Amino acid sequence: MVKAFGFAPSALRLTALMILSPATAWAASPNRPSDVMMDKTFRAAVQQAQATIAAGDLNTATAQVSALTPATPVEKYAAAGLRMEIASRKSDAQGQRKALNDMLESRATPPGEEPRLRFLSGYYSFVVGNYDDVIAQLDYAKQLGYDPLEATMLRADSQFRRGKKAEGLAYLKEAMERQKAAGRPVPATWYDRAISFSYQLGAWSDVAQWYQQKLAAYPGPQNWRSGIVNYLSAPGMDTQVQLDLRRLQAATGAMASERDYQEYAALAADNGYDAEAKAIIEAGRSNGKLPANDVKTVALLKKITPKVKKYMAGLPAAEKKAASAPNGSPAMAVGDDYFSLGQYPQAATQYRLALSKGGVDAQRVNTRLGVALARSGDLAGGRTALAQVSGNWANDARFWGVWLDEQAKVAGGGAHASNDMQAVAPAS
């Protein structure tokens, strides 16, 4: 059976929704027209066909139903209902759709049943791939007052399959909101579909936001890795933002492959953070995910190791110069250096100094200040700083905000996430 975003009503559920005894349903309706009744002979033939269906002899039942000659609307409805039962038992979607439409066209649908049957007609149109009719039938059902969540999902998937991705995403978003309003969790597959089509549309900010929503609901190293690695493919991303996302990948325990370590270490070294690059290579080797003889990192380690001690020894002097500088750029640079070493309290001090002096990229500084505060134990301060970020750093800040909220839930607001790169001790 065709699925819509992981939702597919089972055949049993759909069968239960149908009117399995059309004649009985009609007879029980208090509002039926008194001048429209089944002929006694026709009624007896219907009952015989129903008994044959119940006995499981579908071939004989099919012949019996084919022999019926309905003359009135209710007889036409009853005959179509029997064909619907047989098609349902055979899992014949085309047959179900045809019979259901004949039931509706009979003009004998019991009062109150047409909206639900229109929805089911839309469902079977979806199963057989007639997506234009899906939308038409579901809209008709909605006009008649029947619009369950399943209808919104079918609309979304039908629009996607018609190539109308933006319209499909709008319906999917509506379905998620309805799901949440009902107090039910949004299935992970719904987020995945939204991510996939946003990716195809090149809507990278939407890709980030869908991943952030998914991670808030379904955290874990595997989901963190897929979210970060896929979002890193966005074109034109600042290398500093890329580096922060790799740092987040490490913080969430989502470093899973040799390539993850290679790319993180290369980014750190390219941005001048040699000690961080060295630390991440050593972390990858120690946990067995990065071979000691890996050509790329062996060459990189040989290049950066001689620089690390000098780089770290120069920080106290750089900090003094930053304090007397006319603007915040030197303090931001020193803060970035401390941040790269995992020295978060020192980094936070420098970032605050940089913001007070001005002349810096406040979005970058507030992002890293928020992370530094959170990783120092001040989750509330970290959340406040991250909330101020906009522009090119906004998605990076929001990803870190999801991580921060996760830490608050798991550890009551005070624990730090695990990190593949431990703080690098300053040289004495």
Q: Is the dihedral of CA 33, 39, 40, 43 positive or negative?
A: negative
Between 398 and 314, the more confident residue is 398
| Structure token digits, residue 103 | 């039931």
**Which phi-psi region, left, alpha or beta, contains residue 146 (left: φ > 0; alpha: ψ -120 to 50)?**
beta
Alpha helix stretches (DSSP H) within 341-393: 344-357, 362-375, 379-387
Which 8-state DSSP code applies to residue 419?
A: -
Cα distance between residue 123 and residue 397, in whole Å: 41
Q: Cα dihedral sign for 361, 383, 216, 345?
A: positive
Compute the half-sphere exposure of residue 354: CA atoms within 13 Å on the CB side of its CA: 25
**Burial state string for 80-99 with b = 16 or more CB within 10 A and e = fewer than 16:** bbbbbbbbbeeeebebbbbb
Confidence of residue 5 (pLDDT cuts 50, 70, 90): low
**pLDDT exceeds cutoff 80 at 26:** no
Question: For the whole model, what pTM was predicted?
Answer: 0.82
At 344, list the tokens: 């978060």
Residue 37 has pLDDT above 90, yes or no: no
Cα separation, 3 vs 127, in Å, equals 8
pLDDT band at 215 (very low <50, low <70, confident <90, very high): very high
Q: Quick one: pLDDT at residue 410?
A: 79
pLDDT of 311:
82
For residues 307 and 362, the model is more confident at: 362
Query: At 412, is the pLDDT very low, low, confident or very high (cuts 50, 70, 90)?
Result: low
> What pLDDT is recorded for position 423?
52
SS3 state of residue 78: helix
Looking at residue 15, its pLDDT comes to 37
Whole-number pLDDT of residue 422: 53
> Cα–Cα distance between 255 and 260 in angstroms, integer?
6
Q: Does domain 11-160 have CATH number 1.25.40?
A: yes
- pLDDT per residue over 293-350, tens digit each? 999 999 999 999 999 988 888 999 999 999 999 999 999 999 999 999 999 999 999 9
Domain coordinates in residue numbering, the chain: 11-160, 202-411
Three-state SS at 232: coil
Would you tell me how many other CB atoms lie within 10 Å of the CB of residue 413?
12
Q: How far apart are CA 283 and CA 362, in angstroms?
A: 31
Give the Å distances, CA to CA, from 307 to 67, 128, 277, 314: 92, 66, 11, 11
Conformational region of residue 358, where left means phi above 0, alpha means psi within -120 to 50, and beta covers everything else? left
Instruction: Indicate the helix (H) or strand (E) that contains 219.
Output: none
Mean pLDDT of the chain: 89
Tens digits of per-residue pLDDT, 97-125? 999 999 999 988 888 889 999 999 999 99
Higher per-residue confidence, 314 vs 10: 314
Model confidence pLDDT, tens digit, residues 228-259: 999 999 999 999 999 999 999 999 999 999 99
Cα 401 from Cα 370, distance rounded (Å): 9
Q: What percent of the chain has pLDDT over 70?
A: 87
The reported pLDDT for the residue numbered 421 is 55
Return the SS3 of 110.
Answer: coil
Whether the pLDDT of residue 280 is over 70: the answer is yes
Listed ranges 37-41, 200-204, 338-342, 407-411; the one with the highest mean pLDDT: 338-342
- Computed from CA positions of residues 208, 257, 411, 414, in that sequence, does the dihedral angle turn out positive or negative? negative
Residue 388 is which amino acid? Q
Burial of 256 (0-12, 13-18, 19+ CB in 10 A): middle
Highest mean pLDDT among 170-179, 404-413, 415-424: 170-179
> Which of 180, 242, 172, 222 has the alpha carbon at shortest distance from 201?
172
Least confident of 21-30, 152-161, 234-243, 315-324: 21-30
